[in-house]
Structures are given as structure tokens and as C-alpha cells.
Amino acid sequence: MKYRSLVVALSLTAIVGIASGARSAPDSEVRPGGDELAGLREDRAALDRSLRPAVSDSALDELSVGRYWHAAMMMRAEGAADGAPTGVLTLARAEAGWDNWPAVLALLDGADWLRDLEDARGLYLLGRALEHAERWEEAVERYVAYGAYVGMDTPSGVPAVARGARAAWHAGLTAQALNLLVQLRPVPAVRSWTAAELALWAAEQGD
């Protein structure tokens, strides 16, 4: 009798377990795990950033008339620093306008879209920020990349080449500095000023 009762109890337990598993199986199949949830959140955040307007017309108006600090403050209040790349780059331009190079560095360092917007203007701004931080070799890389993109002898490329020569000299990359000076041959005035500045710096260092 006890044996029969035990068998019945075990059978009922098994049936209940199977039924519970059948009911819970669909939930376990459709419920995303922790990694999947994190991925979904990241995708949603990226979509929200892509749909968010880059910057307001009011902030652009401030930028256009040279009120860079106020424009930057407005853009940050609008969330541009965490928004789409166009907004981040516009904010970086505003920060650069009042020489806030640490902010420019924080906005652009590591961005993978700098060549894709505004004729790669972000490369030049990042070069300036890296130069300000005395990260000379990295600055040279950005200046050279920007000059190659827009043309070394173009109105936009010439300042990048000149600054690249200066940064290369500071980095101890003498051969590259001299090579960049050669690239300035079509603009002898800029080439002479840059060479004179490097010579003065070398004299101050006792070289």
C-alpha cells in the first residue's frame, strides 16, 4: 500500500513538472538574456541619437556670428555631445572657436567618422586638439591625413601641412618635418614662416 502511494505521488509530481515545463518553455524561448537586452538598449540608444536633430537653428545662429562659447553651451544643453556625429562635430567647431581644445579632444578622439563629414574637417580639429595636448605624433598623423584628403596645396590643406611640420619637429621626427616643409613649396611665405619658427625653436633648445 505504501509502495502504491509512493508510485502515485511520484507520477503526479512528474506530470506536474512536465506541465509546468510546457507552460514555461515559450517564455524561456522568447525572453532575451542579459547580453541581448544590453544589445537592444544600445541599438535603441543609437536609433534615438540618429533621429535627434543635430543642433537647433538658434545655436547655429550663435555659431555663425562668432558667439562660440554661447553656441557651445546651447548645443550641450540640447544634448549634442551625445547625439549624432553631425551634432558632435558642430559642437567641436564651437568649442574650437573659443580655444577649448580639451573639449574638442574629448569629443573627437576615437571617433571613426571624421573623414565622412564636412570634408574631413574633424581630422584637422582633432589635430589641433592633439597639438594643444602635446601629443605630437598623433597630431602629425591627423594633419597629414587631412592634408592628403583635401590636397596639401589647397587653402584648407596648407595650414594643416604647416602645423604638421611643427608637430613633427616637436616630436623629433626631423625627416618628416622637412618633408612637410617641401610640400609647402607652392606657398613660399608659409614655408618660410614655418621654417623660421622651427629654426627659432631649435635655437631655443640649443640645437
Give the percent of the chain with pLDDT over 90: 63
Between 153 and 28, the more confident residue is 153
pLDDT band, very low/low/confident/very high, at 36 (cuts 50, 70, 90)? low
Res 149 pLDDT > 60: yes
pLDDT at 35: 58
What does the pLDDT average to over 167-192? Answer: 92
Q: Quickly list H helices, 31-153.
A: 34-51, 57-64, 68-77, 85-97, 101-108, 121-132, 136-150
Res 190 pLDDT > 60: yes
| Structure confidence by residue, pLDDT tens digits, 59-111 | 999 999 999 999 999 999 999 999 999 999 999 999 999 999 999 999 999 99
Res 16 pLDDT > 50: no
Q: Which residues of 155-173 are buried (b: 16+ CB within 10 A; e: fewer)?
A: eebbbbbbbbbbbbbbbeb
Between 89 and 30, the more confident residue is 89
Average pLDDT value for the chain:
81
- Under 8 Å between Cβ of 91 and 81: yes
pLDDT at 166: 94
> CA 100, CA 133: separation in Å to the nearest integer?
11
| Structure confidence by residue, pLDDT tens digits, 126-135 | 999 999 999 9
pLDDT at 145: 96
What does the pLDDT average to over 44-52? Answer: 43
Instruction: Output the nine-digit C-alpha cell for 135.
Output: 601629443
pLDDT at 85: 95
Res 30 pLDDT > 90: no
